[in-house]
Structure 1
Amino acid sequence: MCIKKAIFGFFLLGSVIVHAQTQPKLVIGVVVDQMRQEYIYRFEKKFGADGFRRFLDQGFQLTNLHYNYAATETGPGHSSVYTGTTPALHGIIKNEWFVKDTKGRVNCVATEAYKMVGASGKGASPELLLSTTITDEVKIATQRKGKVVSVSLKDRSAVLPGGHAADAAYWMDSKSGNFITSSYYLQELPPWANDFNNKKYAEKFAAMEWKPALPLEQYTESGPDQSNCEQAFDKKGVTFPHRLAEMKKASNDYSCLAVSPYGNEILRMFAQAAIEGEKLGNDGILDFLAISFSSTDILGHAVGPQAVEIEDMYLQLDKQLAELFSFLDKKVGKGTYTLFLTADHAADETRQSLIDLKIPSGFLDLKKLEKDLNEFLAPYFPGKNVLESVGNDQIYLNHQAFGEDARRSSLDIMIGEELISGFLRRQEGIAEAYPRSVLRNIPFDEKSFRGQLIRSYNAARCGDIMYLLKPQWNSHENNAGTSHGTPYNYNTHVPGLFYGAGIKHGKSSQYHAITDIAPTISALAKIKFPSACIGTPVAEITD
């Protein structure tokens, strides 16, 4: 009996030691654009054995993971996953925003300082990102020997996860169907990327027809195929099948791929080509591959979360994840890599579906709001153009319009902020408005919607007033299709899935912020936290 106990204890201790000392040689970060946590619940019974189910059956699942700020968009979302902080500190406040100095707008990654490589036009860079990322910290920890590669269909979804020090970020050029990069990283595409592009996968996929993987009657977790909740992304209409060749002919480019499962498929293939071409995970030095699947978002905006196409997209993604897992097991080695999966934001229900259910919802017309605001302010500031920009849930004031006398102008600006905030609070779709003076006094860690706003507020880049829409309201003009960008649960609640080296099997319903992912991965990889990280490692995983 003693011998049996000793042997059992030896194996038990061995399993604990393996878990404790396991450090990945490759980390793969997967972001599924616009994925809701509830998609796992809705589609789980139709998942295969080795896609999402590998996370659920062998990995760790966070079921209560949320964005802890208001600006739930793609640029801020990817930045927060990889920096462990919020827009207030990493500086990516929206996908694009008004710039006070130039009086124009800036895209979060677009730049004229660099050019595209593999196509013509302006390049992209992470220069507006203020914090380091976990990918940057990999470079620092390995004395630049570890490789960092980031891939997506969208430029911002590739550039921001890669951080400042990536070997390269690649995204798809919709005109050619090729994967390209920026001269920020490289002066020419590497041979493996050229080889991939030369195989013309985009051309092959664009000749295909998107048919549902299952008979339509089996999509019981979704609405009918013909629905007034969907916007037509196919000239034929909103119903299956979708003929990509006809869509390509109409657009004269390869954007048809991005709204179909073939967009995710070509990205999976390119990610695997990157692993082989860059020899990621082939030595004892930590490497990092960031993958962001964008087709889920591009389709989601058109059809909304209850469409048959969305369910089919996720069933196909499940198979694509299974292919990726199989590839990693063979090429890198099962148990030697760590993979996490989350989303950059979730999604609204379509306004039409809410109308049908008699749930309060609405559309905030920004052009009308700006017109009404100007008319309201005219008697208070005659002859002055007080407003500089209205939108993105913010109001920017024209400070020069208030005069050169600093004392007098400061007082007038404060009066203007209060007047505008009061006006906004009286608008049907606006729940609250906060001028700078109030925003600066909100505790950064406040657990409220006010707290969500302050964690989105970067003083140098945000406006003079921020406003909060009422639940189910947005600035998306069409009643069909969906949007995101608010601090409400339907936009903040995203999946948190972990698998591989250092990950035990389990599940937690404890609240976690999206900013906890970066320090968790940092702890598992035994590297520094990103510079502006405010999150903490998920103890249920790391302890």
Structure 2
Amino acid sequence: MKTRQILLLAILIASNTLYAQQLDRPKLVVGIMIDQMRWDYLYRYHSRYGSTGFKRLLREGFSCEQTMINYVPSVTACGHAAVYTGTGPAVNGIVGNDWYDRKTGKSVYCVYDSVVNTIGGDRKQPGGMSPRNLQSTTIGDELRMGTGFQSRVVGIALKDRAAILPAGHGANAAFWYDDATGNFISSTWYMDSLPSWASTFNKEQRAAKYIQLPWKTLYPAASYTASTADDKHYEVPIPGEDKAVFVHQFNKGKDYDLLKYSPWGNTLTLDFAKAAIVGYDLGRNATDMLALSFSTPDIAGHSFGPDAIEMEDMYLRLDKELGAFLSWLDQRYGNNYLVFLTADHGAINSPGFLQDNHLPGMAEKMGRAASLNEEISRHWGIPEAILSDAGSQLYLDTAAISKAGVPLGSLQQFIKARLKAFSGIGDAVSMDEIHNCYLPAPFNAMYINGWHAKRSGDMIVVPAPGVKNGSIMGTTHGTMYPYDTHIPLIWFGWQIKHGSSYRNISITDIAPTLCALLHIQMPSGATGQVIEEVMPGQKK
């Protein structure tokens, strides 16, 4: 009898061991997104990076060199949502940072929620932020469900949308930066009050300390040969400064918003991320996930543009901080953590830079709803035919157009002709034309992937290559061109072998790949494919 019991116990232990091996997972997954990081930043400053940051990721990790955004618009909210849902705006519903709502006649901010309230800030009016508008589950949602809600998921960023959309609906927490107080805050979607560790962190007032620090170049200014000289006419000064030149000061204003232009914004983000890892003791039991986004490169990048000394210095400093963070993770988790690093979008070179160097490019205003409405009113007698031009899309008042007896197609052709008269506008296309494959195949598919039946407009304004929406100063993004859509993607750590791939990979492939690595279901709206080269045991 005793022998039989011992045998059964041995079988049980062996079965449990095999089960554990089949479901081997890392203690912690860290998703790192760098807002506005173009793919070429990995190599533009490569010779100046240290050995522990970006170079270590490339040296020890697996780099998907040809990772592209496969939808339009290429903006922050869409990028963060796509990475973690494995699908684009057509399915997950995040069609921009903002969009026009036909029912209310108002603009909708992607994560605004009138039902929830802010936690930890000084906001008194009702309404806060949540993932309610996101129409698909995320990696974190599936991880939580796949482990019986034992896994914990936390999102952190300076931007609210960059913390909330990656964290997903069922996250334990999402935290973002409050411009008014310099605190990290949350909303009642996630919690009734901040956890004690977060309150303690906020009481340290690190933002108040960092904002006093001047931003000087890390190295002598003459050594920044990958960038233009300082003080170019197409750089936008930081609020409170007269010129966009070093040394930058951030303590001239009364609120903490200026910290988001500073490399210390990245420092503060990492400080809080480490506090969250320790405070929640992430990785203690089931596999946990931290969705971490660095917002400062985008906020500063919009002012300075990709070719400024400020952006080179920003990435040299971020490289050092990433290296220190990886070393910190090494000490805490050994080789039992998994990292992926990517971006939500890139950025166009400032038109001023392009023009100075005799390269094709210019600035153009894309929407032009006001002037078009004046022409349409004179010609067709419809006072407000265009309800909004949000996101370079035209939302038409189809009811008013029909009531006036005007064929919709005729009006759209009228709008198309007027817009194409502007040299920076390549075309203006109706969604019917898009669905009939009017544009070149790759671009046509990107517009279909970005168009949501209930939230998108009726016409798309298409810029020509090298054309920036707005002025010749600074930079922006949002188009289908490579400067906006070619992003880095590096896998590193647990069970990741060194290598690279130049196969075309989509931003929407990240979530299915991570879910496959973790042996969990992919998000409910996922349309991407597993990147097989990243999977253990696959030939590179």
TM-score (norm 2): 0.91
Conserved 8 A contact 2:366-2:392: no
**1:261–1:19 distance in 2 versus 1, CA, 3 Å:** farther
**4+ residue segments displaced more than 6 Å:** 18-21
Q: Which residue of 1 aligns with 2:447?
A: 453
Structure 1 position 174, deviation (Å): 1.1
Conserved 8 A contact 1:19-1:502: no
CA deviation vs aligned residue, 1:93-124 (integer Å, no higher than 9, x gap): 11001111111100000122111100133310
* Structure 2 residue 509 is the aligned partner of structure 1 residue 510: no
Q: Which residue of 2 aligns with 1:349?
A: 349
| Equivalent-residue separation in structure 2 for 1:195 and 1:372 (angstroms) | 53
| Equivalent-residue separation in structure 2 for 1:129 and 1:30 (angstroms) | 20
Conserved 8 A contact 2:351-2:468: no
Q: Which residue of 1 aligns with 2:11?
A: none
Structure 1 position 256, deviation (Å): 2.0
SS at 1:245 equivalent: coil
Q: 1:464 aligns with which of 452, 458, 462?
A: 458
Structure 1 position 391, deviation (Å): 3.6
How many residues of Structure 1 are paired with residues of Structure 2 in the alignment?
Answer: 513
Q: Which residue of 1 aligns with 2:51?
A: 49
Conserved 8 A contact 1:19-1:501: no
Structure 1 position 466, deviation (Å): 1.3
Structure 1 position 392, deviation (Å): 1.4
| Equivalent-residue separation in structure 2 for 1:278 and 1:95 (angstroms) | 30
Return 414-423 or 119-128, whichever deviates more. 414-423
Structure 1 position 436, deviation (Å): 2.8
Q: Which residue of 2 aligns with 1:436?
A: 431
**1:60–1:22 distance in 2 versus 1, CA, 3 Å:** farther
Q: Which residue of 1 aligns with 2:291?
A: 290
| Equivalent-residue separation in structure 1 for 2:524 and 2:213 (angstroms) | 46
* Structure 2 residue 493 is the aligned partner of structure 1 residue 500: yes
| Equivalent-residue separation in structure 2 for 1:269 and 1:364 (angstroms) | 40
Q: 1:135 aligns with which of 140, 155, 172?
A: 140
Q: Which residue of 2 aligns with 1:480?
A: 473
* Structure 2 residue 151 is the aligned partner of structure 1 residue 177: no
| Equivalent-residue separation in structure 2 for 1:397 and 1:60 (angstroms) | 46
CA deviation vs aligned residue, 1:338-365 (integer Å, no higher than 9, x gap): 0000000000100100111222322223
Structure 1 position 264, deviation (Å): 0.3
Q: Which residue of 1 aligns with 2:339?
A: 339
| Equivalent-residue separation in structure 1 for 2:370 and 2:364 (angstroms) | 13
Return 482-491 or 390-399, whichever deviates more. 390-399
SS at 1:138 equivalent: helix
| Equivalent-residue separation in structure 2 for 1:321 and 1:190 (angstroms) | 26
| Equivalent-residue separation in structure 2 for 1:534 and 1:157 (angstroms) | 21
The residue identity in structure 1 corresponding to 2:275 is A
SS at 1:374 equivalent: helix
Return 419-428 or 311-320, whichever deviates more. 419-428
Conserved 8 A contact 2:32-2:291: yes
Q: Which residue of 1 aligns with 2:9?
A: none
Return 337-346 or 120-129, whichever deviates more. 120-129
| Equivalent-residue separation in structure 2 for 1:426 and 1:487 (angstroms) | 21
Structure 1 gap segments, 5+ residues each:
1-17
The residue identity in structure 1 corresponding to 2:411 is G
**1:243–1:437 distance in 2 versus 1, CA, 3 Å:** closer
**1:214–1:349 distance in 2 versus 1, CA, 3 Å:** same
Q: 1:192 aligns with which of 197, 210, 222?
A: 197
SS at 2:114 equivalent: strand
| Equivalent-residue separation in structure 2 for 1:385 and 1:301 (angstroms) | 32
* Structure 2 residue 213 is the aligned partner of structure 1 residue 218: no
| Equivalent-residue separation in structure 1 for 2:364 and 2:232 (angstroms) | 24
Q: 1:238 aligns with which of 232, 240, 244?
A: 244
The residue identity in structure 2 corresponding to 1:88 is A
| Equivalent-residue separation in structure 2 for 1:292 and 1:192 (angstroms) | 20
Return 422-431 or 502-511, whichever deviates more. 422-431
**1:366–1:434 distance in 2 versus 1, CA, 3 Å:** closer
Structure 1 position 383, deviation (Å): 4.7
SS at 2:335 equivalent: coil
Conserved 8 A contact 1:442-1:454: no
Conserved 8 A contact 1:443-1:451: no
Structure 1 position 220, deviation (Å): 1.4
Map residues 402-417 of structure 1 onto 2, 5 A cutoff: 402=401, 412-417=407-412
| Equivalent-residue separation in structure 1 for 2:157 and 2:491 (angstroms) | 20
| Equivalent-residue separation in structure 1 for 2:212 and 2:302 (angstroms) | 23
* Structure 2 residue 38 is the aligned partner of structure 1 residue 33: no
Conserved 8 A contact 1:19-1:504: no
Conserved 8 A contact 1:89-1:458: yes
